[in-house]
Each structure stands twice: as structure tokens, then as C-alpha cells.
Structure 1
Amino acid sequence: MNAYPEVTLGTFLWQESDIVSIDPDATYTTAGIYSYGRGLFKRPPITGSETNYLKYNRIRKGQFIYSKLFGWEGALATVPEEFDGLHVSHEFPTFHIDDAVADPDYVAHLTTWPGLHDKLRDQGTGMGSRRQRVNIDRLLSTTVPLPKLDEQRRIAAHLDAATAKIGKIRQLKETAEATRRALFSSLITRAGDPAQVRDFLIPVNDSVPVEADTLYRTAGIYSHGRGMFTRPPIKGSETKYARYNRLRAGQFVYSKLFGWEGALAIVPDEFDRLYVSHEFPTFAIDADVADPRYVKHLVTWPALHAALRDKTTGMGSRRQRVSPERLLATEVPLPPMPEQRRLADALDSLATCHAASATQDRELKALGSALLNYAFNGRL
């Protein structure tokens, strides 16, 4: 049981709007809201003639603001000073905070609390994530813990101090990660003379006919060299493909459709014998020419993704296909084998640091959520 009384948000929020008519010749800086209580962001300036809206809502420092469309996903915030006077559409209602009832700093932390996001998710309307709108009445009827003002201020002060320390740790980690990325790119860029990808990749096609009654485990590839993922199993009768390409551990595989975005990977052991469509060409790595560990790092190299972006065909992001011929003609640094192995050792160490950093990010996020839960459940 919560130690604090629960009240509706409507107890201390009332709608407050500053509606302005849009001048086609004027320039407006508009704002949006990140999900999961991550605050506001600025959009690029836009002229009145470039928007479909006839009116904007001008926001003010200290207001409570949320997104009707993504309130269920935690798109709510209080307005910082640097966003004072910016504009939003009617999809972002704004509210005055009654500071005689609720401390604004306490409310600011409430907007980041996953417990409040969960309540708004349960109150969304519409079917499907893109239609779970949170209307104003639903928002204002949502309950939150609200102790007396002195206790609110004490909690806000504790959370301010804790989040400042977590923010400092994140800042240091971001600096370290930027250094790691720069070192990673420098090591590959300066690795040696360029060679074409065809010098070490051998096209492989283990194509099998799709049988209607067979269940297939298929895979996809994340963009930006982030590896592979499995899809839910699918029966042959449920797919449009007549044939699948069977993967083998250690192969190079990429997406024709998203190769320009870095959808390249080396097939992990656990993906051996999974299936992909013909949109995912596969290649064996010639281990006499290229060290597989070195190639594994190449697939994560942003400069390679950029090179493939320049080699795409079609217009628009959904049609920028990378053909196998284009991939194989792309140049990458390929030093002699002993140097590749030495580089692979160094790059493995950097990858280990990156994995440890990702784990720390998850731990910091969990710590932040735990602090908020303790705070709003009366245990801080």
C-alpha cells in the first residue's frame, strides 16, 4: 500500500493555452516530446506556409505538457526555460500547475515515472499502439501519489541530487563511448590499402523450396551493424516466398533493402540453419584472405555503411537497394593477414568495452526507475 494519498492529476492541473493564428510569412520553432519521460526537443524552424495547421499553442516555462498520441508511452514533461515561447500543435495540450497544491519540481519528476506511464497506457483509447490516444479527461482523471508540500519538496530535492549524479555518470560514459568510436574508426581507416569486398567474400546460395506444412524459423538484420534478430516461426503456407535461403554460422549476410543503412551481419552460431528470403544474400568468408573476426568488425564500421549508401539504386529510403554486385565492388581497408589478426584483437577489446558500457546503461536506467518507484511509494 502506498504511504501517500492518491489524487487525480486534475487536482493540481488545469488546462492553459495560448493559441496563436499562424502567419504564412512568419517562422516558427516548434517542439515535440520524447517518450518515456525524456523531455522536450526542438524541431527545425518552419514557416507558417509550410504547415497544415491554422493555429499553434505557444508554450510557457513551468507548464505541464503531454502528447495525446503518445501519452500512453510516457510522452509528458514540464516545460524548461529554454522552451519558453516555442509552439506546438493542438495535439500537445498544456496545463498550469497549481503550486499551492503540487510542487512543480515534484511534478517534473512525476512525468518521468514509469508508474504514471503505465497508468496512462491502461487508459489509452483506440486500437493499436499508434491509435492509443490519451484524451484530456483521461489524463486529468489519472491518479498519482501526492504527499504534503514539504514532503514533495524533500522528495524532489533527493531526486534532483540523484538524477544529477546519474546524469554526470552518463555524460562521462558518453565521452568515453565517443572516444571508443573514434578509436575504432581510426584503427580500421588506417588499417591498410583498400581492397574490394569481392576479394574475400564468396557468394553462397543454399536455397530450399518452401513447403506449406513446414514451420520455418526466420531471421532479420538490425541496421547500423547491430546484429541479427529472430522472427516468430512461420508456416510455409503463410509466406509469399516460394524459396528460402538457409543460413550457416559464420557467413556474411546483408539486406538488399537496408544495406545502405548498415543492415549487415556475420551469422552467429545460434542462427545456424535459420532462414531468410532472397532479399538477404549470403557469402562465405575466404579465411585465407580475410580474418573472420576482422570482417565481423567491418560490418559495424559506419564508413562502410556510408559507402553502401552511395552505391544504392532507386529513389527514396524504401527503394535504396544495394545489389550484390554493388556490395562486392565496395572498397574496404584490408591489411596483410597478421595485421588483420592484430587489429581483430584490439577491436575485440573495444567491443568488450562497448558491451560493458551497454550493460551499465541498462543498470543506470533500472536504478533511475527504482529511485522513482521508491520516491513515489513513500520509501525514499
Structure 2
Amino acid sequence: MRRWSNVSLGEVLRHRKEFILLDDTEYYKRCRVQLHAKGVVLRDVVLGSAIKTKRQQVCHAGEFLVAEIDAKMGGFGIVPDALEGAIVSSHYFLFEIDGSKLDRGFLDYFIRTTGFRNQVEAQGSTNYAAIRPASVLGYRMPLPPLAEQQAIVSRLDALADKVRQVNEHLDAIEKKAAALFLSLHYKLSGDRVRRLGDVVELHEEHVPVRADSEYPQVGVRSFGGGLFPKAAVAGTETSYKAFNRLYVDALVLSQVKGWEGALALCPTELAGMYVSPEYRTFRCVPGEAMPAYIGELVRTPWFWSLLQEATRGVGARRERTRPEQFLNIELPMPPENMQRKVVEILARQSSLRLRHTTIRQANDALIPAMLERVFSEAH
């Protein structure tokens, strides 16, 4: 087997800088890069007259697309076939791949490695986030012969397909479990409708920010992803005058992203940590709601739809979800004794859910681990 070379991207890529003038009467696909090397996706389809900057670049499938500003945050990817002909502004750089030397799939996998990201993050001063085309062409990568690249891509693609199948299987099981929960919710509620404010109430533990203290932070993932710990913020590093301290079973709502499922119950291990005033905390009203039941309810897309109806606007322009809007939502709600029966059923499923979480974490770690192995053992 031939040794791998170590080449600069300038040896296998060519910066292509060509612009067109948009026609106001034509529709154009616009694409964008997702952060953290998550790939290139469709942004929207708009009429030329709605685009202020008329000089745009046309993307071709298989090209390497890099965002000038977001590259250090993983804002780059390979243009997929579906986005052939999509346009991007001058704040993106397009690079043609020399297919006689480099397989586009091989590059697609390489740019997801820590070795590549470290090169991008190290480029230039820390006070200037943008990169230039010359920076990209100067990055280096290990490169085996083309046939070996294609064999590696084939193996990685097969593994990625297995990962996708496992995740789809888990999604299907969890979707059925959620459907069962909602079925029970409606059946046990009957004609009983309550305001959310009848079963949960705003309860916040405001802690003044001190310059000599640190405040471990918590974030909320959208789409029922739950809470997660973040780095601590020093009192001297924030303009907030106070943070909200979390407590066990606090229902944490992101005012900005609550409408897309960014709300969750606080587990024991995150109690005592902090969230900014952009997150509001609520507690269950004794005798009206059980935390475990409410925690399950707010994980459902059905509940997120209620939040969407309670706030005005569309997509990113949707207004913040204020506590009064949240508490004014009306919904079917079973009495607490009925909620308890459902919670007992859910408790029997908790071990299965924990197992699914473990499987997902291990499954999602397969590709990154394999990439590090492949490229760190370059020979």
C-alpha cells in the first residue's frame, strides 16, 4: 500500500470567484452552511427582486463552500446535488475539487475531523473571525491514492447508513411511545379543560450577580432535547444584574425558542445552576399537576404547537413567549390522581428510555471516532 501524502488544499482545490447579476423576475435557491460542519442546506427560495445585493455567486454540486465569518465555527461543507445552481453572497468562498486527485466524499469526511477544525480555528488573530480564500488553500490534509480514498469513503458511507438506520428505529419507537402518552392524556382528560396557569405557576429564584462570583450556566435544547450544562460565567463577564437559579422539577422555558420545544423539567443534577432572565421557571401547583407528568407533556410536538399558537410571528421572527402567554394556554388536563397512573406507566418505561439514550450516544459517536482513527493513522 502506498504511503499517504500530506498536501495543502491548494494542491487539490481551486478558488472559483465568478458572479452573476440577478434577474428580478426569476426565482433563486439560496443555500447556507450549518455550523459545526453539519453541511450545506437550503436557506430559502426567493424572487430576485427581494434580494438587495444583485451580484451573487452560483454554487455547483460537489464544490467546497466556506463561510467567511462562520468558518471558525465549522461553517463549511460540500454543496449537495440538490443545491446545484443555488446562490450565495460574496461572504462565501467556493472551491472546485480536482477530481483526479481528491474524492469529494473523502474531503467531506476530512473536514469533520478535529485535525481540520483546529487548523481553521488557529488561523489569524482571535479578534478577527473572518478567514480568506488563501487561508483555506493553505490548510493541509493527509491524502492517500484516489482508489484508496474511494474505498475509505465506501466504508464510511456504509457505517453512516447503519447509524442512520439505528437512529430511525429509535425515533420510530419513541414516536409510538409519545403517541401512547397523548392517547392516554386525551382519554383521561375527557372534557376537563384547564388553563396552564391553573396547574403551573411562575416561580423564580432571582440571584443578584456579584463581580466576585461565578455562575454555572444551563441551556435548553429545542425539540424536547432537554437541559444541558454550560460553562460558568463570571460576574464580571455579564451585563445581567441577576440570574435565575434552578431547582429540582423547575419547568424551564426559553422565551426565545420555547415555541420550538425549548422547555424542559430540571433534573436533580442541574439544580443550583443558573439561567439568564431570558429563561423563565415555573413549578407545579400542588394537587393540580405532577412534575413528571408535566415534564412528559412538554416534550410532545402537540404541546409545542400550542406554544406556537400562543405567540405571534413566523419562524425566527416569532416574538418571545411571555409568562402570561404561556400560562394562558388552554388544554385538556386530567386530574392529578389520573396523572399519577400515567406516571406509574412511564416509570416502567424509564429504564428503556435510558437505554435508548445510551444507544444514541454510542451510535452518534461512531462516525467521529472512526474519522479520528482513519485520519490520525494516516500513513
* TM-score normalized with structure 1 length: 0.79
Matched-pair contact (CA < 8 Å) for 2:280–2:323: no
Matched-pair contact (CA < 8 Å) for 2:178–2:300: no
Matched-pair contact (CA < 8 Å) for 1:212–1:237: no
2:185 matched to which residue of 1?
188
SS at 1:45's partner residue?
A: strand
Distance change in 2, residues 1:304/1:17 (3 Å): same
Matched-pair contact (CA < 8 Å) for 1:40–1:79: yes
Deviations along 1:188-209, one digit per CA (max 9) or x if unpaired, are 344312223344446657677x
Structure 1: gaps spanning 5 or more residues: none
Deviations along 1:169-191, one digit per CA (max 9) or x if unpaired, are 33333433443444444443443
The 10-residue stretch of structure 1 (306-315 or 370-379) with the greater mean CA deviation from structure 2? 306-315
Matched-pair contact (CA < 8 Å) for 1:221–1:265: no
Deviations along 1:119-166, one digit per CA (max 9) or x if unpaired, are 212225552xxx522211111111100122333233223223322322
Distance change in 2, residues 1:239/1:154 (3 Å): closer
Distance change in 2, residues 1:362/1:124 (3 Å): farther
Note the C-alpha offset of 1:249: 3.2
2:306 matched to which residue of 1?
307
The 10-residue stretch of structure 1 (342-351 or 89-98) with the greater mean CA deviation from structure 2? 342-351
Instruction: Give the whole-Å Cα distance in 2 for the aligned partners of 1:258 and 1:150.
Output: 46
Matched-pair contact (CA < 8 Å) for 2:218–2:273: no
Matched-pair contact (CA < 8 Å) for 2:201–2:327: no
- 1:29 aligns to 2:18 (yes or no): no
The 10-residue stretch of structure 1 (279-288 or 112-121) with the greater mean CA deviation from structure 2? 279-288
2:43 matched to which residue of 1?
43
Distance change in 2, residues 1:25/1:9 (3 Å): same
Deviations along 1:265-312, one digit per CA (max 9) or x if unpaired, are 444334556667877666553443333322232343444444344445
Distance change in 2, residues 1:110/1:296 (3 Å): closer
Q: Mapping of 1:107-256 within 5 angstroms?
A: 107-125=107-125, 127=127, 132-192=129-189, 193-201=192-200, 210=208, 215=213, 217=215, 222=220, 224=222, 226-227=226-227, 229=229, 232=232, 241=241, 248-252=247-251, 254=253
Instruction: Give the whole-Å Cα distance in 2 for the aligned partners of 1:251 and 1:368.
Output: 35
Matched-pair contact (CA < 8 Å) for 1:311–1:322: no
Matched-pair contact (CA < 8 Å) for 1:78–1:108: yes
Instruction: Give the whole-Å Cα distance in 2 for the aligned partners of 1:197 and 1:211.
Output: 31
Instruction: Give the whole-Å Cα distance in 1 for the aligned partners of 2:363 and 2:17.
Output: 36
Distance change in 2, residues 1:59/1:182 (3 Å): same
- Root-mean-square deviation (CA, aligned residues, Å) is 3.8
1:339 matched to which residue of 2?
338
SS at 1:144's partner residue?
A: strand
Deviations along 1:15-34, one digit per CA (max 9) or x if unpaired, are 23442211122211122222
2:368 matched to which residue of 1?
369
Instruction: Give the whole-Å Cα distance in 1 for the aligned partners of 2:240 and 2:143.
Output: 55
Point out 4+ residue stretches in structure 1 off by more than 6 angstroms.
205-208, 236-239, 243-246, 275-281, 313-316
SS at 2:37's partner residue?
A: coil
Instruction: Give the whole-Å Cα distance in 1 for the aligned partners of 2:203 and 2:179.
Output: 34
1:58 matched to which residue of 2?
58
Note the C-alpha offset of 1:372: 1.4
Instruction: Give the whole-Å Cα distance in 2 for the aligned partners of 1:150 and 1:107.
Output: 14
Matched-pair contact (CA < 8 Å) for 2:12–2:101: yes
* TM-score normalized with structure 2 length: 0.79
Matched-pair contact (CA < 8 Å) for 2:220–2:254: no
Instruction: Give the whole-Å Cα distance in 1 for the aligned partners of 2:219 and 2:157.
Output: 40
Distance change in 2, residues 1:218/1:63 (3 Å): closer
Structure 2: gaps spanning 5 or more residues: none
Instruction: Give the whole-Å Cα distance in 2 for the aligned partners of 1:207 and 1:354.
Output: 33
Note the C-alpha offset of 1:11: 0.8
Note the C-alpha offset of 1:371: 1.4
SS at 2:167's partner residue?
A: helix
Note the C-alpha offset of 1:257: 6.4
Note the C-alpha offset of 1:12: 1.1
Distance change in 2, residues 1:95/1:258 (3 Å): closer
Instruction: Give the whole-Å Cα distance in 2 for the aligned partners of 1:234 and 1:289.
Output: 39
Instruction: Give the whole-Å Cα distance in 1 for the aligned partners of 2:4 and 2:204.
Output: 64
Distance change in 2, residues 1:90/1:348 (3 Å): farther
2:102 matched to which residue of 1?
102
Instruction: Give the whole-Å Cα distance in 2 for the aligned partners of 1:53 and 1:178.
Output: 43
Letter in 1 for 2:306: A
Aligned residue pair count: 372
Deviations along 1:12-53, one digit per CA (max 9) or x if unpaired, are 111234422111222111222223333221122111221122
Distance change in 2, residues 1:139/1:196 (3 Å): same
Letter in 2 for 1:21: L
Note the C-alpha offset of 1:98: 1.9
Distance change in 2, residues 1:379/1:352 (3 Å): farther
